[in-house]
Amino acid sequence: MKKIKDLVAYLTNNQAIDNAKIQSINGVSSLLMYSYLRIDFDVVLIKEIILVDVYFVLLTILVNFGFEIKGLEYINQKLKIEAKKKVATSITVIRLGLLIPGLIVLIYLLQNPRIHLIVLFLLKILSFIFINAYYYLSADKLKSIANKYFFSFVVSAVVTLSIVFDTKNIEFLAFYYSGMFVVSTYFFFKHIRSKISILSLLYYLKKNLKFFPIYTSSVFIKELNIPLMNMLGVGASKIELYNLIDKMIRMLVSGIRPLNQVILNNYHKLEVKNLRQYLLRNISIHVLAHGLFLLLVIALYNLQFLELMELFYVLACSSLIYFSLYNYIKISISNTAFFTTTTIILSGITGLSIIYFFSKTTFIFIVLAYVVPEITLSLLLNRGSKWLR
């Protein structure tokens, strides 16, 4: 009983878990919205994607648990990766890395969509690990600053250009996951040969086992929406509509989010009054600028081909990326826990109101249901009134 109370206290008080609170509200909201949705989309691979989501929950828990919950802060305090432990595994690792593209080609030839999706989700997890490891390892090296800027731009370009593909087709996931994997592994293995060994990475994962119960809880809160809706008998096409929107938003934001962590680790006690100066120096803001610029180029290039609502959809995605990152950065660098229950409830009510009144019209209003809550949170954060804390 005491362990349960400690876990509840951690989830409700720790600033690092505030994003999971918002995701849990989104999870509840998604169950409520489907009583009002009347839109059916012809989506391919509905059953396969829903099934892979169940597998992805387990894979995420097993592989990715150590990197979100105070990961870098814990490393700096408790873990010192020693260069002396380096072993001659670089050649073996590179050979394995070359083997993976061959497996992907084989999967395409076999045309098995279920295996195809599982491999893509595995690539996503590996990409996230490599991105974090690369940024941690190169954080204290001034000569790597140029590489960071280039790396940030490439990641931003891959994430942004994935919008070009129709999100209802498998090419969208394939482009995003494969692109992220290639970029992250290239930079990581370029750095790993002289800085770290595979044994050190295993040691890092072992040290992060203390966060396993906490991260497991947050993952289940965030990821079990799809299986739960499936159990409740919600229509497959409506489940997939939510799944595509939610996954696209998570990919866009999480593709840039890891880039914040090294910077935030050094500036997490920065006061809000210095926010403007901090944002101007932050690499993630440059990534955001590249992403918004590429979105604008895509929108202008396709202006003659896109209808007004489709163009509005692209701009809505841009706004979502901007305000999501802005809110994440602001809460991370401040000592004050801005994301209180009041702000989360107000944000959720705003999104549900949009869904309730506009869900019978067009797809764009469902996207706005994600954008407007982020804008609402941004306004509440900037105001900083005492009654919100």
Specify the number of domains making up the chain: 1
Residue range 230-253, pLDDT digits in tens = 555 656 555 555 555 555 445 444
CA–CA gap between residue 178 and residue 103 (Å, rounded): 12
CA–CA gap between residue 170 and residue 166 (Å, rounded): 8
CA–CA gap between residue 265 and residue 73 (Å, rounded): 6
CA–CA gap between residue 264 and residue 331 (Å, rounded): 10
Cα three-residue angle 219-224-230, rounded to 5 degrees: 170
Residue range 174-228, pLDDT digits in tens = 555 555 566 656 665 665 554 445 555 555 555 545 544 444 444 444 445 555 5
* Contact criterion met (CB below 8 Å) for 229 and 31: yes
Query: Per this entry, what is the length of the chain?
Result: 389
pLDDT confidence of residue 307: 60
pLDDT confidence of residue 80: 41
CA–CA gap between residue 364 and residue 20 (Å, rounded): 25
pLDDT confidence of residue 211: 45
Q: What is the DSSP letter of 16?
A: G
Secondary structure (3-state) at 146: helix
CA–CA gap between residue 337 and residue 347 (Å, rounded): 16
* Contact criterion met (CB below 8 Å) for 320 and 370: yes
Nearest to 206 by CA among 101, 109, 107, 66: 66
* Contact criterion met (CB below 8 Å) for 71 and 257: no
Range of the domain at 174: 2-388
Residue appearing with tokens 């979502």: 320
Name residues of the chain where pLDDT drops below 70.
Answer: 1-389
* Contact criterion met (CB below 8 Å) for 97 and 189: yes
Q: Say if pTM beats, i.e. exceeds, 0.75.
A: no
CA–CA gap between residue 24 and residue 339 (Å, rounded): 13
pLDDT confidence of residue 88: 35
pLDDT confidence of residue 123: 60
Q: What is the DSSP letter of 252?
A: H
Cα 238 versus chain centre, distance: 22
Residue range 350-376, pLDDT digits in tens = 555 555 555 555 555 555 665 666 666
Residues 6 or more apart whose Cβ sits within 8 Å of residue 365? 354, 355, 358, 359
The shares of helix, strand and coil residues in the chain, as percent rounded to the nearest 5, are 80, 0, 20
pLDDT confidence of residue 349: 58
